[in-house]
Structure formats: structure tokens, C-alpha cells
Amino acid sequence: MKGLEHPILITGGAGFIGSALVRRLALSGERLVIVDALTYAGNLDSIGSAMAIPTTAFERVDIRDAEALARVFVEHQPRAVMHLAAESHVDRSIDGPDAFMETNVLGTFQLLQVARRHWLTMSDKSRRDFRFVHVSTDEVFGALGEAGKFSESSPYDPRSPYSASKASSDHIARAWHHTYGLPVIVTNCSNNYGPFQFPEKLIPLMILSALRGDALPVYGDGSNVRDWIFVEDHVEGLIAALERGVPGGTYLFGGDAERRNIEVVRAVCTVLDEMNPEGAPHNRLITFVKDRPGHDYRYAIDARVATEELGWRPRHTFERGLRETVAWYLKNSQWRDRVRSGDYRGERLGLQSSE
């Protein structure tokens, strides 16, 4: 799909996963339009050199603003949309669910409406080639027990304000495909990690807290299980879905790397002991704290459909990806200091409903 005149529009392109997608596509020669409201987790520094490429455009637009979105579509005439703009932190959704409903539900609705109107103005061939890739999470499926994995046929059972808002947006996106014919593809992924991730999420929070000598808070007894995927592997899956996915289809991406939360934290400490021995042993900082309200026990992804239909598979083991991640945070002290200098300083979120 490279070298075509019309760009790919990426919402949330200054966020963690979005910026990784932007960096990959821009440096491969794609024309891009980045749409981002630059909320607390959005950072143009994460896009890096891609912003200097003449074929990359940036629009500071909130996806809830239908008028601004319509202007962007008219001016740039995108041939595809990759929708990653979302409020995404479970703990933050417990404290303030309003922003999650407004952005993830209403914002997705506004974006689909504007994209559909744009799609209807296109030539027959361009309409056939157009794609709307809606990026979601495995959390919409609820929680698993000790066995089993989520698949494309798993029933929805969201348990948090965040996952409920994403589940709603998934249903809206599919409805726009089935009712209006908009070529929508839905993807769901497991926990992402890697460079440029905002430090409210587990792995960067542990890295940055350990470097400061702060406590490493582990919820409950640390037994909750997540499947981890390195962000670059997820990005490759999203590009495969864009290029080879079937409209109306759903694709799940996971890293085949289930770990208990306490195992993840200990692994971070082990890598830090090697790469930053001055603070070793870092596991002395581990502290067990009151569990998150409604904390889902286990998530796991069966990615066979993505493997068989898209030819995708993760390239990073958890150990390799974690080493690359820790090394990046150690090397990029200016970036990590800047993101910790704003409103969020690593404090505990998500306790409101249990107080």
C-alpha cells in the first residue's frame, strides 16, 4: 500500500501504540495524517523523526469534535483510518469514568460517522479499498480462570469502566459495518509494553519507580495473569490487518507470554539489577498493596486466526522485549523525566470505589 497519493489517518498517533505505528509506517514511506488531542498521555516526542518527514501531517483534534474531524477528512482525503485514540488506563477509569465514555464511545461514534460520509464520496474502487481498523483490547471479554484463552468468538463481558467503554466502541464499529457497509476491521490485543509507554502502566511504572528508589506496588498478592505483547509486534499485526484483513473481520493479537504480575515485576528487577547495578537488588522495593476494585484474574489470547489469515506472529519473546524496554528507559532519561514532570508522578490511582 506504499506510495499511494492519499494518506492513512491514524487517531491517537501521539500515544504509546499509535506513535509506534506512526514511526513504523512513516519510515517505510507511507503518507500519514496523525490526529491526536495531546492529552496527558500524548507526546509528540514519541513520534520522533517521523514528524520531520514531509509526508507526515499532524492535526491536533479531539475525536469528539465532529466538525474538526470533518475538516481533517476533507483536507487530507485519507484512504484508510486506523483508530487508536482512547482513554486506556483501568485505574484512571475507576476514578473518572466520564472521560472514558466520552472519548471511547462518543468519540468513536463521531469518527465512524465522519469516516462513513467521507467513504460515500469516494470512487467505487477507492471505496472497495478503504479500511477502518478499530483497535481494541482483550479486556472486553472479561476474565478467564486458570484455563482457556480468548478468541474471536469469545462473548463480551467487560468488568471495568474502561473495558465497558471499549466494548461499546467495538459494538458500534461492527454496527457501522453491518448496517452501512463501512469496511470496518476490529482488532483486540493483550497487554502492550515497550519504549515510550506512559508510566502509569505496570512495566514503565516499575522501571521508573525502581530507578528513583521508590516502592514497587503490586496489587493484592500479585497472582493476576496477563498475556504480554511487545508493542512492535502488535504494530506489525495492525499493519497486517490493514493490508490483508477482511472487512467485518476480527483479529486478536497476543504475545503468547502469560505472566503473573509478581513475575513481571521480579523480571523487571532482575534486568535492572544487571543493567543498573547501582540500585541492586531492586526486588527489595517490592510492596504488596490493596488490590484494584474488580481486578480481573487472568487474560490470555489465542492468536491463531491472525497467524493463519494474516501471516502474523510475534517476533519477540517476553525476555527479549523486556530487555529492550528496560534498556530504552535507561538510555532516555530526558524523555522519562519530562513525562514524570506533569500532573502524574507515579501515585496510586483507582482506589475511589473501595474507600
Each residue of 153-163: pLDDT tens digit? 999 999 999 99
Using only C-alpha atoms, what is the Rg of the chain? 20
Active-site residue (options: 59, 62, 138, 236): 138
Closest listed residue to residue 305, CA positions, set 187, 171, 192, 167? 187
pLDDT at 338: 80
Active-site residue (options: 162, 219, 251, 299): 162
pLDDT at 344: 47
Has 162 been annotated as catalytic? yes
If you average pLDDT over residues 45-59, what whole number do you get? 91
The amino acid that residue 88 corresponds to is S
pLDDT at 90: 83
- The pTM score is 0.93
pLDDT at 292: 79
Has 329 been annotated as catalytic? no
Has 180 been annotated as catalytic? no
Domain architecture of the chain: domains with CATH:
8-197+229-256+295-315 (3.40.50.720)
Cα 137 from chain centre: 8
If you average pLDDT over residues 227-256, what whole number do you get? 98
pLDDT(119) > 90: yes
Among 75-79, 93-97, 250-254, the minimum mean pLDDT is found in 93-97
pLDDT at 351: 58
Question: Could you tell me if residue 344 is left (phi over 0), alpha (psi between -120 and 50 degrees) or otherwise beta?
Answer: beta
Active-site residue (options: 30, 59, 62, 139): 139
Q: Give the C-alpha separation, 56 to 43, whole Å.
A: 16
Each residue of 185-207: pLDDT tens digit? 999 999 999 999 998 899 999 99
If you average pLDDT over residues 24-43, what whole number do you get? 93
Sign of CA dihedral 202, 189, 96, 353: negative
Grid coordinates of 284: 527489595
DSSP conformation class of 103? I
